[in-house]
Amino acid sequence: MSKTTSTHFIGRYIVADPEVCHGKPTFRGTRVLVSDVLEQVASGVAWETIIEEWNDSVTKDAIQEAVQLASQAFIKHADEFVLEPLAA
């Protein structure tokens, strides 16, 4: 019996394939996790440096798509991230 898996195309540059990195979103044709690149962006690493560190396997357009999709996901799920006020 063959196991059927399908790649989910999340965007033009981002995919989730059960056969690659346990199905976590990666940049198309790579094993580079989108979450790793987003962490670099959040840490203030220049996009040019990110591209260099991943040996040009991630493009500026791919990073832009990741940031845009992350922004959309945050807006859609913002109520799930509300912190309780701190006691005075």
Partners of residue 67 on adjacent β-strands: none
Q: Give yes or no for a contact between 37 and 50, defined as CB atoms under 8 angstroms apart.
A: yes
Give me Rg for the CA atoms of the chain.
16
DSSP per residue over 8-66, as a string?
EE-SSSEEE-TTSGGG--EETTS--BHHHHHHHHHTT--HHHHHHHTTTSS-HHHHHHH
Residue 30 class from Cβ within 10 Å (0-12 exposed, 13-18 middle, 19+ buried)? middle
Domains for the chain: give ranges and CATH numbers.
Answer: 8-78 (1.10.10.10)
pLDDT tens-digit series, residues 9-25: 999 999 999 999 999 99
pLDDT tens-digit series, residues 59-78: 999 999 999 999 999 999 98
Taking the model in full, what pTM does it have? 0.84
Q: Is residue 2 scored above 80 in pLDDT?
A: no
